Amino acid sequence: MKVEISDFEENDRTRLQQIYYEVRNSTFTWLPKDSVDKSSFNQDIEGEYILVAKVGAEIVGFASIWLQDSFLHHLYISKHYQRKGIGTLLLNKIIEKANSDLSLKCLKQNKSGVHFYLKSGWVAVSEGTSNEGEYILFKYPISNL
């Protein structure tokens, strides 16, 4: 399977909204179903740098980062393409573009996400609580590369 990673283009928006909505609702099962809708995507990615993963012409995932803080805000892969290395490809591309240590928050109840980040070399540095639940703050030390 050949995966292409490219910068976000406006015509990607509708498919990314669908992935965002579908994956959040299937992963964050402890949250009320009405806690997110497709319009939430536009607010959540505003001002962020976005990379898009495609298999052929099909958009299968994306990552978005708030560059000012080197904060990975979103990493979503369509359910049919999870566990095929696409998340790792997106992470590696984000790491290539980073100028400083990266950080992200992953909800503790997102056990597969926590496992993925630990397996990918991210380090848990602290814990906290958000409106969506308890989270782990992860760092990825770019300065060591």
Q: How far apart are CA 104 and CA 135, in angstroms?
A: 10
pLDDT single digits (tens) 24-46: 877 776 666 666 665 678 787 88
| pLDDT for the residue 34 | 65
Write down the pTM of the prediction: 0.89
| pLDDT for the residue 79 | 92
All structural domains of the chain, each given as residue ranges with its CATH number in brackets, are: 3-144 (3.40.630.30)
Q: Is the separation of the CB atoms in 113 and 106 below 8 Å?
A: yes
| pLDDT for the residue 36 | 64
Give the residues of the chain that fall short of pLDDT 50.
none
Cα angle at 94 between 104 and 37, to 5 degrees? 60
| pLDDT for the residue 29 | 67
